[in-house]
């Protein structure tokens, strides 16, 4: 892991974790880091995660980093067994956390991104266990269309399920983590925050050629998460951070334009 400077404001967006499983070999050519956490939904992982692999043009473009909770050993065991039996050639890393709760989804994400150190990953995709990829060769579409566009936040199409037709599922160029000093993912309601930042700085795009189904289960896990750990907060509570993120991106763009001249 390389040393990455973390803004003082972002110190609370990280947690301790430990690597408990890894698979696949690093081809030094991967392009997309898929990051997410799951709890008590190994059935959804088994159902939905394969779509991202099976519909990929080249699995060497992908690396998955998944967070699990220390007190959810059953989920962890099922996921590891599933990967070993079906996708041992795909790059996976699984990290174990003390339970952080639904309101700290962004803490899982930032911590997992930090473990990879942003090596060889121009793009970061926010993966979740209830997403099913619909688009064939989705990885190559992203790489071919957006590889030389930094910084960028791209919202993809939600064709069915929760949030269908709305801007809620997105990926972004990893340079944004560096540019914003890990402030981009400062809130669990990261879609709203990122949408506002993207539109305010001119780095927002909507791409309907890449489509997912969002099969959110309104199950006991979902209800308990909201009851015991709280719903994600509105990005509006992070207005000072939003303004700083916007300023950092605009400053980066301004300096990049100067370098081109």
Q: What is the pLDDT of residues 129-188, one digit of tens each?
A: 999 999 999 999 999 999 887 899 999 988 887 667 777 788 999 999 989 989 988 887
Q: How many whole angstroms separate alpha carbon 127 and alpha carbon 38? A: 10
CATH architecture of 8-260: Alpha-Beta Complex (3.90)
Query: Chain-centre distance of CA 85, in angstroms?
Result: 25
Q: How many whole angstroms separate alpha carbon 160 and alpha carbon 162? A: 7
* Predicted confidence (pLDDT) per residue in 54-66, tens digit: 999 999 999 999 9
The DSSP-derived string for 179-190 is: HTTT-SS-SS-H
Residue 222, pLDDT > 70, answer no
Q: How many whole angstroms separate alpha carbon 112 and alpha carbon 26? A: 17
Residue 11, pLDDT > 60, answer yes
218 burial (CB, 10 Å; 0-12 / 13-18 / 19+) is exposed
Residue 233, pLDDT > 60, answer no
pLDDT value of position 236:
54
Whether pTM exceeds 0.85: yes
Listed by start position, the domains of the chain span 8-260
For range 193-212, the mean pLDDT = 92
Instruction: Map residue 177 onto helix, strand or coil.
Output: helix
Task: Please report which helix (H) or strand (E) contains residue 203, including its range.
Answer: none
* Predicted confidence (pLDDT) per residue in 19-39, tens digit: 999 999 877 777 999 999 999
- pLDDT: is 107 or 190 the higher one? 107
Q: How many whole angstroms separate alpha carbon 186 and alpha carbon 255? A: 24
CB 173 within 8 A of CB 149: yes
What are the Cα distances from residue 18, in Å, to 97, 163, 172, 187?
7, 33, 25, 23
Residue 1, pLDDT > 50, answer no
Q: Furthest-apart CA pair in the chain: how many Å?
A: 57
pLDDT value of position 63:
94
Residue 127, pLDDT > 60, answer yes
Residue 193, pLDDT > 50, answer yes
């Amino acid at each position: 892991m390389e040393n990455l400077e973390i803004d003082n404001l972002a110190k609370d967006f990280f947690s301790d974790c430990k690597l408990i499983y890894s698979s696949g070999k690093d081809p030094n050519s991967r392009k997309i880091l898929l990051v997410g956490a799951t709890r008590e939904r190994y059935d959804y992982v088994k159902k939905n995660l394969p779509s991202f692999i099976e519909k990929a043009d080249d699995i060497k473009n992908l690396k998955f980093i998944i967070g699990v909770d220390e007190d959810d050993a059953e989920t962890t065991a099922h996921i590891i067994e599933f990967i070993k039996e079906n996708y041992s050639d795909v790059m996976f890393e699984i990290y174990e956390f003390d339970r952080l709760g639904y309101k700290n989804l962004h803490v899982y994400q930032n911590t997992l991104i930090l473990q990879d150190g942003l090596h060889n990953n121009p793009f970061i995709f926010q993966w979740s266990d209830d997403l099913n990829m619909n688009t064939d060769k989705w990885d190559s579409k992203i790489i071919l269309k957006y590889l030389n566009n930094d910084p960028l936040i791209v919202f993809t199409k939600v064709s069915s399920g929760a949030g269908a037709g709305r801007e809620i599922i997105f990926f972004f160029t990893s340079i944004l983590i560096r540019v914003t000093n890990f402030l981009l993912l400062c809130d669990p309601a990261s879609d709203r925050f990122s949408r506002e930042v993207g539109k305010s700085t001119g780095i927002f795009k909507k791409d309907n050629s890449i489509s997912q189904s969002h099969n959110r289960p309104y199950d006991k896990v979902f209800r308990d998460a909201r009851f015991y750990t709280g719903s994600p907060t509105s990005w509006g509570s992070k207005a000072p951070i939003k303004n700083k993120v916007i300023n950092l991106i605009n400053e980066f763009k301004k300096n990049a334009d100067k370098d081109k001249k």
